Amino acid sequence: SYILTQSPSVTVAPGQTASISCGGNNLGAKSVHWYQLKPGQAPLLVVFDDSDRPSGVPERFSGSNSGNTATLTIRWVEAEDEADYYCQVWDSTSDHPDVVFGGGTKLTVL
Amino acid sequence: QVVLQESGPGLLKPSQTLSLSCNVSGDSIRWGNYYWAWTRHHPGTGLEWIGYIYGNGNTYYNPSLKSRLTISVDTPKNQFSLRLKSLTAADTAVYFCARGHSGYGRIDYWGQGMLVTVSS
């Protein structure tokens, strides 16, 4: 089965830029989606199809995907951005597509 | 606006069977290029995909749970359900139902989640 690898944690100061990476074999050939998960809340889709942003998500959130790495970038980080972030792909290489999540990255805002 | 809401028991004992339902409003389960999924979030760990079902009843399960899992759909009620048997403490988690897009697979609507605790 397909595996997505994320660093466990990222720490940034308010106003700085956070980069959260997601690694996978030939990941650039897949569409990557990113979710924000805060305690007691439902996951929130913040980037889909590598770099598109759902309506209502601040422009500070952006994404890219190339080679074996996808990246979620959060500019001008705010305290409210502190959360766990998960990447996800739809692995359709087998006869039954699997939903695959990365292990998650905890973003801490100092 | 699509709204999903989980319902079911919050506390079960080891070896029992978990039954959760997800009521969907604002969209029809029967139609559209969507899949209807269950995921869970273990305390202190990550998101885990459980399985999903299409409106036509086709299902796809996480291989690690397949032997204990049944997902079904009730299109007249616009609901889909999860049944997980032979519970252990490792099944303690927040369970989410969600709507995903076929094709590239993004999940755009989620339920609020339901904490299920397995304890004797």
B108–A45 CB contact, under 8 Å: yes
Q: What is the model's pLDDT at position A58?
A: 96
Q: Tokens in use for B8?
A: 């079911």
Query: Which residues of chain B lie closer than 8 angstroms to A44, CB-CB?
Result: 110
Running DSSP on this structure, what letter comes out for residue A58?
A: -
Look at residue B25 and tell me whether its pLDDT is greater than 90: yes
Q: What is the model's pLDDT at position B37?
A: 96
Q: What is the model's pLDDT at position A69?
A: 98
Question: B18 to chain A nearest CA, in Å?
Answer: 21
Distance of CA B45 to the CA centre of its chain: 18
Provide mean pLDDT across the span B56-67: 92
Q: Tokens in use for B37?
A: 């999924």
Q: Kindly indicate the confidence band of residue B44, based on its pLDDT and cuts at 50, 70 and 90.
A: confident
User: What residue type is assigned to position A22 of the chain?
Assistant: C
Question: B104 to chain A nearest CA, in Å?
Answer: 6
Roughly how many angstroms between the first and final C-alpha of chain A, as a whole number? Answer: 36
Question: B49 to chain A nearest CA, in Å?
Answer: 6
Q: Kindly indicate the confidence band of residue B66, based on its pLDDT and cuts at 50, 70 and 90.
A: very high
Q: Kindly indicate the confidence band of residue B32, based on its pLDDT and cuts at 50, 70 and 90.
A: confident
Q: What is the model's pLDDT at position B31?
A: 84
Mutation for B interface: A31, A44, A49, A90, most B CBs within 10 A: A90
Query: For residue A29, which of A85, A90, A96 has the smallest C-alpha distance?
Result: A90
Which residue ranges of chain A lie beneath pLDDT 50?
none
User: Distance between CA atoms of A75 and B85, rounded to whole angstroms?
Assistant: 45
Other Cβ atoms within 10 Å of B19 Cβ, number: 15
Q: What is the model's pLDDT at position A91?
A: 86
Q: Kindly indicate the confidence band of residue B102, based on its pLDDT and cuts at 50, 70 and 90.
A: confident
B108–A54 CB contact, under 8 Å: yes
**Contact status, residue A88 vs residue A32, Cβ threshold 8 Å:** yes
